[in-house]
A and B are shown apart, each in its own frame.
Chain A
């Protein structure tokens, strides 16, 4: 049987990168580059991709990479964009590519500024839900109940995950979308679409992480899919304020199916699982009202 796919065949990401086995963030980059093409400049702050893009003189992506300090991916990308545009280049995509720490936490001021000014950049957060590059510390993207090195007790992280997408949407971006590697055609389409829009664009990618979430490395795509099918990470886009649910889930699976497969939630009790289920149910209701 031949499956016809909309995903471009050629690879921009080299096989010889330094990611952990089963890394969701490498799948994300692979599909992103397929959608973006080579006329792209990546701006990468401190995150796993600082290393995965290649320590000097190696390079795993076939496009220019400008590394930046942790807090300022959006501001540095802003500068790259203005520099190129100042010399008449209106078409090169300038993409800030940051983790959840660099987005939810230390980078949020620069991100808010760039979104507010409608800078001509695509900001991508590949969200593995903790500071994974420094060895699994809690970030604003870490969900309630997750074990990390800085939330070591049986209860795990106390606070729910920060609703970053609501914060971004409050900036009235030209385009914003969520994506995850289990839905590659959706992800590639979104990058292609974002590429052709001018102004500030934002893509939030849920990016499973085997060592940080504590699961076997062959389960990344399955967990990515379960996050969507349980309703924990809905896949949608908002274009000029118009909301569209891209992956409707007719019968949502219980969140326990997603949570119980990960070591980071190992000590989570039934009441906590029920609380998460209630939160997801409420969020999903709100989403369905928009759709």
Chain B
């Protein structure tokens, strides 16, 4: 059934459809409506799960660590400072192999105080062991949240579903809300093999020897490697059931393109318009959208790497002292190739500045002509 939903409500509806058993969350702009919508659904009886109104984000994740250990399906949502405050627990949730799902509404980090979107909050969590997806539409927020539960439970690893603060979180779009029966088929009741069993007491996350710790981390890394196939097969199943398909990297008019934009999140949908306009103007433009960040889809991206065809990454995030994080990751993915394309980095829209069609066209044209200095990222602002 089509409904007009803001991004935050699309996430909340997915949590309800997944028959999530425990939600623990703390309010932060721009995530707040996820929490409010769930509280309303709980009050009206639409949502049967438990909702723990914790006193902080650290406790939100700590609560879910405890709940997930008992084998129930768990969810939280946060943004920015809240995610940073949760940081310790993100490592813990992943290390304990708990399939927790989180909606992360991308918002820039202070200081100074800033409310609007960028991705440095979630990308700074890249080494925590969470899978990460970046959505470009509200439909995708709903669908990815459902996918996330399935993927998390198959891998026993937590999954973060990221989307742009305000641009998606507060914007209404038509969203196809799937029928409950269909979601129940896709997401049967969670049966967690590592759940605590009262008849067979164990200690969870107890101190191991270094050798055991090493092996546990190695096994986790192997499961992250395996995640590529698991995600692809879950996406296939999702497409068969719901008729919408997703993949780690989504290419648009890339086959014959002279240069490619590399984009993520909501600006990746703006990029489609930029490509269309450039095509109308006679340029062979194309776009690659990176939807999956962890595990990083290096192999999928290498398929689009052709020597002589420049790639230009639009990063709405920045690693101080280095460069945009998607750019850095892309370069590292392409490095093993014998012949590599030029990769240019662009930093744009930090703290929520608009990434417009015009700006993206300018970025593409620059990249096509080739920049003098490929080593430095270019900071681009839309002056309009």
Contacts and interface: CB of A to CB of B under 8 A. Distances in A.
Interface of A: 38-39, 41, 43, 50-51, 53-57, 59, 61-69, 71-72, 74-87, 89, 92, 109-110, 112-113, 116-117
A260 B306 CA distance: 80
Given A66-B69, A76-B63, A79-B68, A109 B55 contact: yes
Interface stretch (B45-53, B136-144, B295-303, B335-343): B45-53
Given A69-B88, A82-B52, A92-B198, A75 B58 contact: yes
Contact of A67 (B49, B55, B204, B209): B204
Nearest to B189: A87
A85 B60 CA distance: 17
Nearest to A65: B203
A103 to B, nearest CB: 15
A92 B201 CA distance: 13
Contacts of A87: 21, 70-72
B66 A86 contact: no
B70 A80 contact: yes
The 9 lowest CB-CB distance pairs between A and B, nearest first, are: A79-B66, A83-B70, A113-B55, A72-B62, A75-B59, A75-B62, A79-B67, A79-B63, A83-B67
Given A66-B69, A80-B70, A85-B50, A113 B202 contact: no
A238 B280 CA distance: 78
Contact of B59 (A39, A89, A110): A110
Interface string B1-38: 00000000000000000000110100000000000000
A63 B55 contact: no
Contact of B206 (A38, A56, A89): A56
A274 B43 CA distance: 58
Contacts of A57: 206
A76 B55 contact: no
Contact of A76 (B56, B66, B74, B196): B66
B207 A75 contact: no
B325 interface: no
Contacts of B70: 79-80, 83-84, 86-87
Interface residues of B, number: 41
A69 B92 contact: yes
Interface of B: 21-22, 24, 49-50, 52-56, 58-60, 62-72, 74, 88-89, 92, 196-198, 201-209, 212
A89 B63 CA distance: 17
Contacts of A66: 65-66, 69, 196, 204-205
B59 A72 contact: yes
A81 B52 CA distance: 11
A177 to B, nearest CB: 24
Contacts of A62: 201
B65 A68 contact: yes
Contacts of B196: 41, 64, 66, 80
A78 B67 CA distance: 8
Contacts of B203: 53-54, 56, 59, 64-65, 67
Contact of A56 (B24, B68, B208): B208
B66 A110 contact: no
A55 B22 contact: no
B72 A86 contact: yes
A106 B251 CA distance: 48
A50 B204 CA distance: 11
A84 B197 CA distance: 10
Contacts of B88: 69, 71
A79 B204 contact: no
A76 B72 CA distance: 14
A86 B192 CA distance: 15
Contacts of A113: 54-56, 59
29 contacts: A43-B66, A53-B203, A54-B206, A56-B207, A56-B208, A56-B209, A56-B212, A59-B201, A61-B201, A64-B197, A64-B201, A64-B203, A64-B204, A66-B205, A69-B88, A72-B65, A75-B54, A75-B66, A76-B62, A79-B63, A79-B65, A80-B196, A82-B67, A83-B71, A83-B72, A86-B49, A86-B70, A87-B72, A109-B59
A79 B21 contact: no
A199 to B, nearest CB: 14
A79 B198 contact: no
A217 to B, nearest CB: 24
Contact of A83 (B21, B56, B62, B205): B21
Contacts of A68: 62, 65-66, 92, 205
Contacts of B207: 50-51, 55-56
A74 B58 CA distance: 11
Nearest to A71: B58
A76 B65 contact: yes
Contacts of B74: 79
A85 B67 CA distance: 10
Contacts of B56: 109-110, 113
Contacts of A51: 207
A43 B24 CA distance: 18
A65 B62 contact: no
Given A43-B66, A79-B24, A110 B204 contact: no
Greatest chain B CB density within 10 A among A53, A64, A77 is at A64
Contacts of B69: 66, 79-80, 83
Greatest chain A CB density within 10 A among B52, B62, B202 is at B62
Contacts of A71: 58, 62, 88
A265 B134 CA distance: 58
A253 to B, nearest CB: 41
Contacts of A75: 54, 58-60, 62-63, 66
B238 to A, nearest CB: 26
Nearest to B70: A83
Nearest to B56: A109
A64 B71 CA distance: 14
A63 B65 contact: no
Contacts of B60: 75
A63 B54 CA distance: 27
A16 to B, nearest CB: 14
Given A53-B203, A75-B58, A110-B55, A86 B208 contact: no
